[in-house]
């Protein structure tokens, strides 16, 4: 029998799935990030429900949601807030910015300059912001989902490695199938979808107490010592790929940091928990490895010249590192 927290998350998953068609993996990853207290970077073509998904997630949670459209003229104060002068008494009052919401959508994050990205970095990493000499704590429930468009690079500011490493997951989403797109048309026309809706589900928002209880349950999911060693070997293989295949040695310039090991451990446990298990399997680790590692690897010039991407490298390492 699932726990009350698991049932609440299944209800939330169904709530989102009834409103977002054809993105089941994306929905699962959203919930995993929520369970792991992490942030997500999403890359996909326009019109694939990236913005809609996080908006629906905000509706299904007990909390508030805010969208920030990143543009080249955005200033750090537009995110953090600023001090407002009150001429009545000559004092300054701090007016909170969008980062003080629970769920923040940073739309087209790579269109903002480095100063704005740096302000977001402190919020994501430290769960606080500093304005002047004062530091303000952000809400206990704080999640950033950033999007970027893979099609347009003119006028963009690529995210530095330090910023990328703060994202728990880096997702790449694709187009829906023909059948799923037909359902999208029906949903857009406002037709009833009772027959196609997932079984069960409640529209009652997930309260934060249940969310925090679920996060504690995820940390208690069992991972065998052999699987923990397997997870570590996968991450270590990104730093020394030549030990598994000489051809891989020239593909990577830098491997994943210890933050990747922590992220992969938590995400594998969260995936097992979402699937109703109290133990981690090798499939949990392998499934999450791509989204956890793809933005934490720096390819060598030779790999880029050959058209090899980080997903190819991760797939090769998974195929070569022995499964217990």
Residue pLDDT, tens place only, 100-148? 999 999 998 888 888 888 888 888 988 998 887 888 999 999 999 998 8
Give me the pLDDT at residue 176, please.
84
Cβ pair 145, 104 in contact under 8 A: yes
Q: Helix crossing, 24-35 with 208-219: angle to 10°?
A: 90
Cα gap 99→144, rounded to integer Å: 9
Contacts of 198 (CB under 8 A, 6+ apart): 13, 14, 17, 18
β-pair partners for 95: 82
Q: Domain 4-188 is of which CATH architecture? A: 3-Layer(aba) Sandwich (3.40)
Using one digit for the tens of pLDDT, what is the confidence trace for 291-314? 999 999 999 888 888 888 999 999
The per-residue pLDDT for range 160-215, each reduced to its tens digit, is 787 888 899 999 988 888 888 888 888 887 744 444 444 444 467 899 999 999 99
Q: Quick one: how far is CA 238 from the chain centroid?
A: 21
Section 23-29 average pLDDT: 91
The Cα angle at residue 105 between residues 160 and 166, in degrees rounded to 5: 35
**Lowest mean per-residue pLDDT among 8-17, 46-55, 69-78, 230-239:** 46-55
Beta pairing class for 143-148 and 134-137: unpaired
Domain map of the chain by residue range?
4-188, 221-320
The average confidence (pLDDT) of the chain is 88
Question: Topology of 221-320 in CATH?
Answer: Helicase, Ruva Protein; domain 3 (1.10.8)
Query: For the residues 9-32, what does the mean pLDDT come to?
Result: 90
Which pLDDT tens digit goes with each residue over 240-263?
A: 988 888 888 888 888 999 999 999
pLDDT value of residue 55: 87
- The pLDDT of residue 31 is 95
Return the pLDDT at 152: 64
pLDDT for the residue numbered 291: 96
């Amino acid at each position: 029998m699932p726990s009350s927290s698991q049932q609440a998350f299944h209800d939330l998953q169904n709530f989102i799935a009834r409103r977002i068609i054809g993105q089941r993996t994306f929905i699962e990853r959203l919930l995993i990030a929520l369970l792991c207290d992490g942030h997500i970077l999403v890359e996909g073509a326009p019109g694939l429900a990236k913005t809609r998904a996080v908006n629906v997630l905000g509706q299904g949670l007990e909390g508030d949601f805010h969208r920030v459209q990143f543009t080249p003229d955005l200033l750090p104060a537009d995110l953090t807030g600023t001090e407002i002068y009150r001429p009545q008494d000559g004092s300054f009052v701090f007016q909170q910015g969008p980062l003080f919401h629970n769920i923040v959508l940073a739309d087209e994050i790579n269109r903002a300059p480095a100063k704005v990205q740096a302000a977001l970095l402190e919020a994501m990493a430290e769960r606080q912001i500093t304005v002047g000499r004062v530091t303000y704590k952000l809400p206990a429930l704080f999640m950033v989902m950033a999007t970027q468009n893979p099609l347009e690079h003119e006028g963009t500011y690529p995210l530095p490695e330090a910023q990328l490493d703060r994202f728990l997951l880096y997702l790449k989403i694709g187009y829906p199938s023909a059948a799923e797109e037909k359902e999208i048309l029906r949903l857009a026309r406002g037709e009833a979808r009772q027959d196609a809706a997932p079984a069960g589900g409640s529209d009652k928002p997930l309260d934060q107490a249940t969310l925090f209880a679920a996060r504690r349950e995820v940390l208690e999911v069992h991972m065998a010592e052999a699987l923990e060693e397997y997870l570590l070997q996968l991450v270590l293989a990104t730093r020394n790929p030549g030990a598994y295949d000489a051809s891989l040695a020239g593909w990577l310039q830098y491997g994943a940091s210890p933050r990747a090991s922590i992220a992969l451990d938590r995400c594998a446990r969260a995936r097992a928990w979402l699937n109703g298990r109290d133990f981690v399997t090798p499939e949990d680790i392998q499934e999450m490895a791509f989204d956890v590692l793809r933005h934490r690897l720096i390819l060598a010039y030779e790999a880029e010249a050959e058209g090899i991407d980080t997903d190819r490298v991760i797939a090769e390492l998974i195929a070569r590192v022995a499964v217990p």
